[in-house]
Amino acid sequence: MDHAATTPLRPEALAAMKPYFDRRYGNASSLHSFGQEAGEALEESRAAMAGLLKAKPSEIYFTSGGTESDNAALKGVASANRDKRHIITTKIEHHAVLNPAEWLSKNGCEVTYLPVDRYGLVDPADVDKAIKSDTALVSVMWANNEIGTIEPINEIGKVCHEHGAYFHTDAVQAFGKIPLDMRNVDLLSASSHKLYGPKGVGLLYAREGVKIEPLLHGGGQEHGMRSGTENVAGIVGFTKAAELAFKEMPREMPRQQKLRDRLVKGILLDESWLNGHPAKRLPHNAHVCYRFVEGESLVLMLDGEGIAVSTGSACSSKSLEPSHVLLSLGLKHEEAHGSLRFTLGRQNTKADVDYVISKLPPIVERLRKLSPFKSAAEAAAFIPTEHDEHGHKHG
């Protein structure tokens, strides 16, 4: 139940990739037939991805994953538009956006980090207020990787275009999971391993005409936007997985949502609440805060029962810092530490959900008995009225 971290490679993607590891191993840039065979697979993949995004093949660049695509979008637009030095993003982005933004702020750019409301939503009016005449790029994620909140992407994109700024969205958690309205999007990042494709491959969509410079210079592959011999097998596997994800979406979205709702109903206990927006959220995401419990202890005890969940994003799960996303919602440090993320996937069943529902409550109870937070709170007869805004269940 940790599919936001990564997903298993689906057999159809593996089967599509296999020939490109041995028989069809050519370099897509070679003129001979081995090369042409690989080149054709690459261009077929590009056309297929363009079809999924209702884009032109020339607007799709394959990369090594979501992190590279985000870096390419932020740094690439900043370096191609040196007359515009301002960038806007949000406080709840993945570090693949926050860290290049921070790097840019140390290298001549001014960066504005927009706040979110208690559900994690960005207000398009805040984008409007923050945009200046020298804003080159606004970057707002499509769906948050921790709490699953889906942002008003079309409205934000509209505001950017009224002011002549480019709009980038990190769609790593949304691509292949929910329908994407691309009307006001100029740049989009996606990653293969979140949708049952191989790891180490992703894409950057950049609308025709967007001024962007490459991150990698070399042999000029990917129309000069991303040099380096192409990962043909990975790209073929990514494309197969994406095609199937889009095809299965009308069936999988409601199926996973139903399972998720059953899960939430079963695991919301006293002194717990759902983080993120109740409705505007990824259909497979549940993010629950348990007061008086440490998320890490919960993760380890659930792991002992064969249940894989996480406290936040996989990349920062080894850090002891509370999640920047949860703090941005207004949660206290100890509340952020007591949160768990469940992200369902295509192989999860009702039996899996019922298994979690049977295992989790006694573990929470056991940990709470040991909790120093709980005894301190009880001693002070602490009544947590300020948590009502999070949909907190009392008593």
Ligand X SMILES: Cc1ncc(COP(=O)(O)O)c(C=O)c1O
Provide the binding-site residues for ligand X, judged by CB under 6 A. Answer: 65-67, 70, 94, 96, 141, 145, 170, 172-173, 191, 193, 202, 313, 315
Q: Which is nearer to ligand X, 226 or 291 (CB)?
A: 226
Chain position whose Cβ is nearest to ligand X: 66
What is the spatial distance between Cα 288 and Cα 326, in angstroms, rounded to a whole number? Answer: 11
The CB density around residue 287, as the number of other CB atoms within 10 Å, is 29
List of residues 6+ apart from 160 with CB closer than 8 A: 127, 131, 138, 166, 167, 184, 186
Token pair belonging to 167 = 């709009």
β partners of residue 340: 288
139 burial via Cβ count (<10 Å: 0-12, 13-18, 19+): buried
What is the spatial distance between Cα 46 and Cα 276, in angstroms, rounded to a whole number? Answer: 34
**Considering the complex, what minimum distance in angstroms separates the CB of residue 65 from ligand X?**
3
Active site residue 315: yes
Token pair belonging to 53 = 């995004």
Q: Which is nearer to ligand X, 285 or 371 (CB)?
A: 285
Handedness of CA 330, 331, 336, 342 (dihedral sign): negative
Q: Which is nearer to ligand X, 226 or 392 (CB)?
A: 226
**Considering the complex, what minimum distance in angstroms separates the CB of residue 205 from ligand X?**
14
Long-range CB pairs of 56-60 (<8 Å, 24+ gap) are: 56/208, 58/208, 58/223, 59/205, 59/206, 59/207, 59/208, 60/203, 60/204, 60/205
Token pair belonging to 107 = 């290298």
**Considering the complex, what minimum distance in angstroms separates the CB of residue 241 from ligand X?**
13
Q: Which is nearer to ligand X, 172 or 360 (CB)?
A: 172
**Considering the complex, what minimum distance in angstroms separates the CB of residue 194 from ligand X?**
7
Selecting among 109, 160, 289, 315, the annotated active-site residue is: 315
Q: Which is nearer to ligand X, 127 or 203 (CB)?
A: 203
Q: Which is nearer to ligand X, 104 or 293 (CB)?
A: 104
Q: DSSP state, 111? A: E
What is the spatial distance between Cα 181 and Cα 162, in angstroms, rounded to a whole number? Answer: 18
**Considering the complex, what minimum distance in angstroms separates the CB of residue 203 from ligand X?**
10
What is the spatial distance between Cα 247 and Cα 12, in angstroms, rounded to a whole number? Answer: 13
What is the spatial distance between Cα 334 and Cα 50, in angstroms, rounded to a whole number? Answer: 44
**Considering the complex, what minimum distance in angstroms separates the CB of residue 93 from ligand X?**
7
Q: Which of the residues are catalytic?
A: 315
